[in-house]
C-alpha cells in the first residue's frame, strides 16, 4: 500500500483529492494544511517526513493570489519557492516521489500555438515568477518528481471564477467579462483523478507535464456557459483586458498542449464544457 502525503489539503485540489480518496483503499492518505505542516519551515518538513515514511507527496499548497503577490512578494516567494524546495529536500532524503502543481502563468502568453512543456517560459508577474522558480528548485534537488502545469482551476470547493460568476449573475442584471484572454477552464477533480492515475501507473516517467481540460475558451465564453447551464438570465458584455486593469499582468494566450501526458499515460481528458456541467451539479 502506498502512503501518500497531501499538502495544502484544504484548497480546491486538496479537497478534491480528499473526496476521491474514499474510493482508493489501495492508498493510505495523510492530508495536511498549513496549521498541520508549514511547508516553508524546512526543519518541520524534514521532521514530518522522517516520522511518516511517505511513498508520494502531492503538493497542493501554493500562494495563488495573483494580484496580491505583486505587493506581497516575500510571502509568495516563501510559499511558492521555499516550500517546494523544502518538500523536494525531504522527498530526496526519504526516497519519496513529489507531485507538484504549477501554472500556465509561467508563460508570457504571446504564442500562436498551444504551449508544450519544452517551450520558452517567461512569466509576466510575481506569481508566475515564483511558480517557475519553484519548478526549477525541485528539478535541481530531486530526480523523482512530476510537475503538473494547469490553468483556470475551479471546483465545487473553495473560491473560484465559477462561484464568483454565479454570485454576481444572481446579484446583477449585467456583467462585463474579459474576452481577449484565451485558455482552458480546468475542473480540479479531473486534475486530481489524473494525479491518482499517474501514481497508480508506476511508470516512473518523471518530468514536467501539462494538464487542463480539452477545448478553448475566453473568460467571456466561460461565464456565458456557466449562466446558460445554470439558467441564470444576465446580460454578459465582452470587454478587453485594457478595460479591467489589475496589478498583475496576465498571459493573453495560455492554451496548454496536453499531448505528452495523454500519450505517456494513455489518459483521456474531458472537454471543459462537460466537466463544468458535472461541477455545476454540485453547486447550489
Residues with active-site annotation: 127
Sequence-ordered list of residues with C-beta below 8 angstroms from that of 272, at least 6 positions apart, any chain = 184, 185, 186, 187, 212, 213, 214, 215, 217
| 63 grid coordinates | 500562494
Closest by CA position to 86, among listed 5, 31, 16: 5
Please tell me the distance from the alpha carbon of residue 120 to that of residue 107, in angstroms, as a whole number. Answer: 7
* Surface-to-core class of residue 126, CB atoms within 10 Å of its CB (0-12 exposed, 13-18 middle, 19+ buried): buried
Mark 235-269 as b/e (b = at least 16 C-beta within 10 Å). Answer: ebebbeeeeeeeebbbbbbbbbbbebbbeeeebeb
Nearest partner of 199 among 26, 7, 13, judged by Cα: 26
For residue 178, give the C-alpha cell. 474579459
Q: What's the grid cell of residue 115?
A: 504551449
Under 8 Å between Cβ of 161 and 154: yes
| Gap between the Cα atoms of 261 and 208, Å rounded | 9
Amino acid at each position: 500500500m502506498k502512503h501518500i502525503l497531501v499538502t495544502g489539503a484544504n484548497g480546491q485540489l486538496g479537497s478534491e483529492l480528499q473526496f476521491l480518496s474514499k474510493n482508493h483503499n489501495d492508498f493510505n492518505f495523510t492530508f495536511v494544511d498549513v496549521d498541520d505542516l508549514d511547508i516553508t519551515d524546512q526543519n518541520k518538513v524534514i521532521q514530518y517526513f522522517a516520522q511518516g515514511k511517505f511513498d508520494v507527496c502531492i503538493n497542493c499548497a501554493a500562494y495563488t493570489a495573483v494580484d496580491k503577490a505583486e505587493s506581497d512578494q516575500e510571502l509568495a516567494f516563501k510559499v511558492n519557492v521555499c516550500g517546494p524546495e523544502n518538500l523536494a529536500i525531504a522527498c530526496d532524503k526519504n526516497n519519496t516521489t513529489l507531485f507538484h502543481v504549477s501554472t500556465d502563468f509561467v508563460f508570457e502568453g504571446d504564442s500562436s500555438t498551444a504551449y508544450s512543456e519544452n517551450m520558452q517560459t517567461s512569466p509576466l508577474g510575481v506569481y508566475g515568477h515564483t511558480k517557475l522558480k519553484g519548478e526549477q528548485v525541485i528539478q535541481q534537488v530531486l530526480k523523482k518528481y512530476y510537475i503538473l502545469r494547469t490553468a483556470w482551476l475551479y471546483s465545487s470547493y473553495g473560491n473560484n471564477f465559477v462561484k464568483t460568476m454565479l454570485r454576481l449573475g444572481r446579484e446583477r442584471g449585467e456583467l462585463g467579462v474579459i474576452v481577449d484572454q484565451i485558455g482552458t477552464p480546468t475542473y480540479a477533480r479531473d486534475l486530481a483523478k489524473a494525479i491518482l492515475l499517474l501514481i497508480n501507473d508506476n511508470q516512473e516517467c518523471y518530468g514536467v507535464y501539462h494538464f487542463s481540460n480539452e477545448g478553448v475558451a475566453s473568460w467571456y465564453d466561460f461565464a456565458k456557459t456557466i449562466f446558460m447551464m445554470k439558467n441564470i438570465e444576465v446580460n454578459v458584455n465582452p470587454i478587453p483586458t485594457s478595460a479591467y486593469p489589475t496589478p498583475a499582468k496576465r498571459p493573453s494566450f495560455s492554451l496548454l498542449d496536453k499531448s505528452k501526458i495523454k500519450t505517456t499515460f494513455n489518459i483521456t481528458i474531458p472537454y471543459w464544457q462537460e466537466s463544468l456541467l458535472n461541477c455545476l451539479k454540485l453547486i447550489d
